[in-house]
Amino acid sequence: MSVSSAALLLASASPRRRELLALIGLPFESRAAGIDETPRPDEAAVDYVQRLAREKAEQISKPTFQTATGEGRRVVVAADTEVVIDGEILGKPKDAADAAQMLRRLRGRTHEVVSAVAALDARSGALREEVCRSSVPMRAYSDDEIAAYVADGDPMDKAGAYAIQHDGFHPVENFSHCFASVMGLPLCHLTRALRQFGLAPPADVPAACQRFNRYFCPVYSEIL
């Protein structure tokens, strides 16, 4: 299967996921997936993110198959990322007060970020799934820093109300796992899934990810 005949369709409108996916060097388009993201009763975080990633991919795959010509746009890529602390999933904040409350709860503590990736062949229905779990230690930022960050508006569309890559806030310290996963798309896990379809990204994915995020990754060799 050639690269040119296997373009990807990203089931997301997230600018962060588009930036990350561009690093692997395969052509892609993006389309938002609108699904019900309400957790089911007693649904574990891992089950929840896997279900959402799978449902996003499935929703986008049907029209993709119907409209694609030749071999184009045949693999749908979807992801979901959630912040988990004290066994509770912290989704996107409802408002500024909710964002501030989440950040106070996370402050000075280590929580878990769980990301799932689903790669779905729109024609055959073959599905490849990956999960990345990262421990994320937060620094003891001040109330004033929380107020300034919330006023910036950045937390409002992010699980747990923060972005690990934010240059001004820098919420995380001593992190030693997959940076891209906390951003929303674990690239090495995605690469591993795509290889099962015979798709080898032309880029050196770990090197591209580390350059982009200005982060030395200690785990990529374990994944790939």
Catalytic residue set: 80
- Residue 212's H or E segment, with its range, is helix 205-213
Dist CA 58 CA 118 (whole Å): 9
Number of other residues whose CB lies within 10 A of the CB of residue 127? 15
Please list, in sequence order, all residues whose beta carbon lies within 8 angstroms of the beta carbon of residue 47, skipping any fewer than 6 positions away. Answer: none
Give first-to-last CA distance, the chain, whole Å.
21
Biggest distance spanned by C-alpha atoms of the chain: 56
Q: Hey, what are 87's tokens?
A: 């066994």
* CA–CA separation, 50 and 77 (whole Å): 13
